[in-house]
C-alpha cells in the first residue's frame, strides 16, 4: 500500500507539471500521454481511502444535482 501511494504522489506531480505548462500546439501523442498518465493515476488512487472518499463526495454531489432537476 505504501508503494502505491508513493507512485500515485509521483504521478500527481507529473500531472500537475504537464497541465501547468503553457498551452501550445500539442501533438496528439503528447495529449495521449497525458491521458494515459491520468488514467493510471486514477487506477492507483481508486482503492485507497482517499479515492473512496472522493468517490462518495462525487456520488453525493451527482445525486444532489439529479434530485434538484426533478419535480
Domain positions in the chain are 2-64
d(CA 55, CA 15): 20
Estimate to the nearest angstrom the gap between the alpha carbon of 51 and the chain centroid. 10
For residue 5, the model assigns a pLDDT of 55
d(CA 26, CA 28): 7
The model's confidence at residue 25, banded by pLDDT at 50, 70 and 90, is: low
For residue 10, the model assigns a pLDDT of 80
Q: Does the pLDDT of residue 57 top 70, yes or no?
A: yes
For residue 70, the model assigns a pLDDT of 57
Q: DSSP per residue over 22-43, as a string?
A: ------HHHHHHHHHHHHHHHH
The whole-number average pLDDT for the span 49-62 is 81
- Cβ(18)–Cβ(34) under 8 Å? yes
For residue 65, the model assigns a pLDDT of 76
Amino acid at each position: 500500500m505504501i508503494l502505491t501511494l508513493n507512485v500515485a504522489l509521483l504521478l500527481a506531480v507529473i500531472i500537475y507539471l504537464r497541465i501547468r505548462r503553457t498551452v501550445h500546439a500539442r501533438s496528439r501523442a503528447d495529449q495521449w500521454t497525458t491521458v494515459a498518465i491520468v488514467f493510471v493515476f486514477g487506477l492507483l488512487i481508486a482503492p485507497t481511502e482517499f479515492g473512496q472518499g472522493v468517490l462518495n463526495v462525487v456520488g453525493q454531489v451527482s445525486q444532489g444535482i439529479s434530485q434538484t432537476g426533478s419535480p
